[in-house]
Chain A
């Protein structure tokens, strides 16, 4: 996915975050690392454990965004958490993305609401928009969609906007 140059010059904070993930071994895989932006992949089995490290060791204290993306070619959904930091020194400019891919046929992953209360509405929105289930979330009821919505989750690529013939 990434088009980052092979070896970008990274500031020290980014380097130390990468060193930390290197220590975690195979539990994480760095997708890209450029100044101010780092993205790592984790499996759903390791999601909670890794986000706990992200909060406690790396000092990323809040979630800024959650993106749910459908990749029908891979038959997978990707849920990307973006974390920001207020308390960590020199980290405010950095957004750390933690992505987790789940099979479209079994879209279950653990909720991280116990670690990050700020993901509450983000997870609810992602769940209804791409149809994944955050296990352990106390309330995954409808948030933005109409109550009488009976179609498939609208952010899936299989959902076509009515009246639009072009490929989305």
Chain B
């Protein structure tokens, strides 16, 4: 077998004082992703990422399907973030089809999208907990996550993949008892977040392992084009929901959290604050939710006009965009997906080089890198 972009597939001594270590793709934390680090003693001196283990050609497959048929396939790229990955696809398709979706559908999309953000952040928190040796914060978030999975199920009808934000609006309306249930969950979880803060985010051991570790200065974050929590933790107040508001985000009140310390701790804190905020946004949406239809009826083989569209949203891990080129048929001519994990990957070698081996898991997972999403 060829040795690929890195060096060895196993640990290898490459000189008197340097050693190359292969991390992944079977590592329980890394996901289906591999990178090679070269270490000199305890210090990482080189890092070569090697993604692609779960590349399934999602972009190619969309060329064989109608816009609607692509939805279930596309959302499987990012199972913790299904609504946010298909929403920009639907938005771009709607632009090409020349349709405007009803206001209620846009509100429901926002509710689902924020619920998804909490789901994704809780999953992230659980893994970050175990990476830092904190097994309580592995179990608590994954337990609390069930409550939000239930909320998603109430609207979407499935636990994980709902195919909810389809071209034309959303698949179905929400049940009448959703609001009461959601508000109860939010009250519980607000109190719970205080516990998380106490036992994890303000834990002296966690602080020691994350503060001043993996520092990405502001100017470099912009230059590397990173997105999401990684960008905001480097002090850049950028969020697609504010920069280019879609749905009804411009009518809502929320702040974009930023931190100036640019380190792993800051990236953790952005996740925490965003969970609180997502609940606040959902509360506002439930308050303002207008009555009306939730979907424009489209043919399953709806034709798009010739042209191109570029739509983006703020997904759980950062800005996610779809570039669709259409030649006027029922299928897209070309679909290009730009996902936050792929864009943040460039920061991994930058952050790991110069760090200690023991800090590797904390830095890696603070980027919230999701290999399946990055490989598409």
Contacts and interface: CB of A to CB of B under 8 A. Distances in A.
Interface of A: 1-4, 36-37, 39, 61-67, 69-70, 80, 82, 84, 86-87, 92-93, 95, 97, 116-118, 120-121, 125, 139, 141-148, 154-155, 159, 161, 164, 166, 168
30 contacts: A1-B325, A2-B308, A36-B244, A37-B310, A69-B334, A70-B334, A80-B323, A82-B310, A82-B321, A95-B312, A97-B310, A117-B225, A118-B224, A118-B343, A118-B346, A120-B346, A121-B342, A139-B5, A141-B5, A142-B4, A143-B51, A143-B52, A144-B52, A145-B55, A147-B1, A155-B60, A161-B57, A166-B64, A168-B60, A168-B64
Interface centre among B222, B225, B306 (most CB of A within 10 A): B225
Closest 3 CB pairs of A and B: A118-B225, A65-B338, A62-B225
Interface of B: 1-2, 4-5, 51-52, 55, 57, 59-61, 63-64, 222-225, 236, 238, 243-244, 305-308, 310, 312, 319, 321, 323, 325, 331, 333-334, 336, 338, 342-343, 345-346, 375-376
Contacts of A154: 57, 60
B336 A67 contact: yes
Interface centre among B2, B64, B310, B338 (most CB of A within 10 A): B310
Nearest to A124: B5
A55 B120 CA distance: 34
Given A80-B323, A118-B346, A61 B52 contact: no
A4 B223 contact: no
Contacts of A146: 52, 55
Nearest to B96: A3
B180 to A, nearest CB: 37
Contacts of A82: 310, 321, 323, 338
Nearest to B376: A144
Contacts of B333: 69
B244 A92 contact: yes
Given A65-B310, A144-B55, A147-B4, 9 more contacts: A36-B244, A67-B323, A67-B334, A69-B334, A86-B222, A86-B238, A87-B222, A142-B5, A161-B57
A3 B225 contact: no
A95 B63 CA distance: 24
A36 B236 CA distance: 21
B328 to A, nearest CB: 9
Nearest to A129: B59
Contact of B345 (A61, A87, A121): A121
Nearest to B98: A3
